[in-house]
Amino acid sequence: MNVAILGTGYVGLTTGACLAYLGHQVTCVDPDANKIGALQRGEVPFHEPHLEDLLVAARPNLKFTMDYSEAIPDSQVVFIAVGTPPGVGGAPDLRYLQAAAEGVGERLGPHFTVIVNKSTVPIGSGNWVGALVRDAAERRGRGKDCFAVASNPEFLREGSALLDSLYPDRVVIGADDPRTAEVLYTLYRPILDQTFQPPAFLPRPDRVGGVPLISTDLASAELIKYAANAFLALKISYINEIGQLAEKVGADISQVARGIGLDARIGTRFLQAGIGWGGSCFGKDTAALVSTASEYGLDMSIVKAARDVNRRQRERVVEKLLGELKILKGRTIGLLGLAFKPHTDDLREAPALDVARHLLERGARVKVHDPVAMNRFKKEHAGMDVVMASDVHEVARDTDAVVLITEWPQYLDLDWESLASVMRTPILLDTRHAFDRGRITRAGLRYITLAG
Ligand SMILES: NC(=O)c1ccc[n+]([C@@H]2O[C@H](COP(=O)([O-])OP(=O)(O)OC[C@H]3O[C@@H](n4cnc5c(N)ncnc54)[C@H](O)[C@@H]3O)[C@@H](O)[C@H]2O)c1
């Protein structure tokens, strides 16, 4: 099939690369000249494991352009994968979605086109996009009845985006008529039936047979995405709240989490106590869910509580350091990790940024390090008055405490004896429960976590 993808961010580019790998003819469109220029030269504009390899493998079926006219008229399926960043009052900012919908409407071909909301969009956006496309098509005298809007929410996780896309837990398709659903079903068939030859660098996990398809109406598909993200966010905040109690009663939160998670009804994933969630999705999507519910007179008290707990976890980092050091003014604190999680350079809503800000506000000097996100940090947070350390030793040198923020594998096997020897005060605050207390203590450091 001919497919257009609007937006070459984490979601759009991953979707485009995967669909092209499966044999579809894909044109990716983005107004960002730097991104399109890089992609045309064969460069990947952000860090995502194996994306470069998959783009090479799919290259014969892929085109990149800034021009909607090169993509829309010939496409049977148009994915909208533009950003929906947080707006005022919790509702997402839909200006990119609006521009995309209007741009599609103005260029629709004469054949039936399925326009797919892959961006995470508020419930009801399917209808709204439909109206925008219809109006734009009418203004240009295009085939205003020759299209339908579907919802196909994305569940990929940055850092494992390709695995999540080729071997998903499920595919959700929301459409209000069978013809539309059928087009997407055909498009995704190789993934649903797992009939494609896996790339050598992304072998099919053993557990993956057929992938379940949830074929539903538009509103249900839109709600599934928000409800899934909010549930994962709740799980994280729940274990962090239990972690606070564990600290008070002297319990080991890692053992508690394991004891809870091995109950098959609960599951161990997303049950690691720590600094909480970051990234572009959970914060924005929980805020949007609360905002949508309030339009219907509903108070999402559980989701609101999860948000509060998450915000508090970042403040607790500073409280913990204050508890140890008593005074932060004039102290030097080293942060290991800037990205919101390992295997990505995405800094959106990264806990490290809030922690650095809180520390700077209290007069501390902050040194930072990240294995892949340093360049991006320099570009996006040039105004932040921190020291960019060239390596982990540089972070540790003359610091009063080191804080592990992102559990990059590179940080998990460090020579702590040697790091402790260059620190002013050998304190490690492990906000991810990533280290073994005994190992760190034997290396001569005081080991603390957010839960004890
Ligand atoms: N990043 C994730 O892990 C993830 C996971 C699931 C769902 N989502 C959702 O997917 C959507 C995209 O997220 P992302 O992280 O890929 O965003 P992103 O910010 O990485 O990428 C968005 C891209 O859209 C482009 N864009 C803006 N206006 C455009 C237009 N009119 N036409 C074409 N392109 C345009 C931007 O230039 C940018 O390259 C969001 O709604 C997000 O909530 C993201």
3-state SS record for 27-83:
EEECCCHHHHHHHHCCCCCCCCCCHHHHHHHHHHHEEEECCHHHCCCCCCEEEECCC
| CA of residue 96 to ligand 1 center, whole Å | 9
440 located within any domain = yes
CATH number at residue 320: 3.40.50.720
CA dist., res. 429 & res. 420, Å (int): 13
Q: How many residues does the chain have?
A: 452
For residue 345 and ligand 1, the question of a CB distance below 6 A is answered with no
Residue-level pLDDT at 81? 98
Q: Do residues 199 and 75 both lie within one domain?
A: yes
Same domain, 238 and 199: no
Residue 152 falls inside a structural domain:
yes
User: Is residue 260 classed exposed, middle or buried when 0-12, 13-18 and 19+ CB atoms within 10 A define those classes?
Assistant: middle
Residue 431 included in any domain:
yes
Calculate how far, in angstroms, residue 11's C-alpha sits from the geometric centre of ligand 1.
6
32 and 133 housed in the same domain: yes
Q: Single out the residue of 37, 54, 43, 10 nearest to residue 344, CA to CA.
A: 10
Residues 115, 215: contact at Cβ < 8 Å? no
Q: Could you tell me if the CB of 280 is within 6 A of ligand 1?
A: yes
- Ligand 1 pocket test, pick from 10, 13, 44 with the greatest ligand atom count within 8 Å of Cβ, gives 10
Average pLDDT, the chain: 96
Q: In terms of domains, do 230 and 276 share one?
A: yes
Do 263 and 331 belong to one domain? Answer: no
CATH number of the domain that 243 lies in? 1.10.1040.10
- Per DSSP, helices labelled H in 73-158 are 95-107, 125-139
Do residue 76 and residue 211 come from a single domain? yes
Q: Is the domain of 209 the same as that of 249?
A: no
Summarize the confidence of residues 169-187 as an average pLDDT: 96
pLDDT class of 452 with cuts at 50, 70, 90: confident
**171 and 282: one domain?**
no
| Residue whose tokens read 């829309």 | 72
Asked if residue 323 is part of any domain, the answer here is yes
Q: Ligand 1, residues 5, 6, 8, 11: which to mutate, most atoms within 8 A of Cβ?
A: 11
Which of 270, 304, 338 is where one domain is finished? 304
Stronger pLDDT, 268 or 144, i.e. the higher one: 268
pLDDT tier, 88 (very low <50, low <70, confident <90, very high otherwise) = confident
Residue that finishes a domain, picked among 168, 186, 216 = 216
The total number of structural domains in the chain stands at 3
The answer for 344, left when phi > 0, alpha when psi is -120 to 50, beta otherwise, is: beta
Assess whether 46 and 133 both reside in one domain. Answer: yes
* Predicted local confidence at residue 196, as pLDDT: 96
Based on the fold, state whether residues 322 and 271 are members of the same structural domain.
Answer: no
pTM confidence score = 0.95
Distance CA 162, CA 191 (A): 12
Is residue 51, in this structure, part of any structural domain at all?
yes
Active site residue 18: no
Select from 150, 181, 216 the last residue of a domain. 216
User: Over the stretch 299-341, which tens digit does the pLDDT of each residue have?
Assistant: 999 999 999 999 999 999 999 999 999 999 999 999 999 999 9
Q: Measuring CA to CA, which residue among 316, 307, 303 is closest to residue 277?
A: 307
The finding on whether 219 has its CB within 6 A of some atom of ligand 1 is no
Q: Find, among 345, 49, 9, the residue nearest to 199 by Cα.
A: 49
Q: How many helices (H) and strands (E) does the chain have?
A: 16, 14
Same domain, 276 and 365: no
- 341-377 confidence digits (pLDDT tens): 999 999 999 999 999 999 999 999 999 999 999 999 9
Assess if residue 375 is contained within a domain: yes
Q: How far is the CA of 118 from the centre of ligand 1 (A)?
A: 9
| Residue 196 is assigned to a structural domain of this protein | yes
Q: Note whether residue 221 is domain-resident.
A: no
In the numeric block, the tokens 């390899």 are attached to 53
Q: Which residue range is the domain that position 252 belongs to?
A: 226-304
User: Do residues 432 and 326 both lie within one domain?
Assistant: yes
Is 259 exposed, middle or buried, given 0-12, 13-18 or 19+ CB atoms closer than 10 A?
exposed
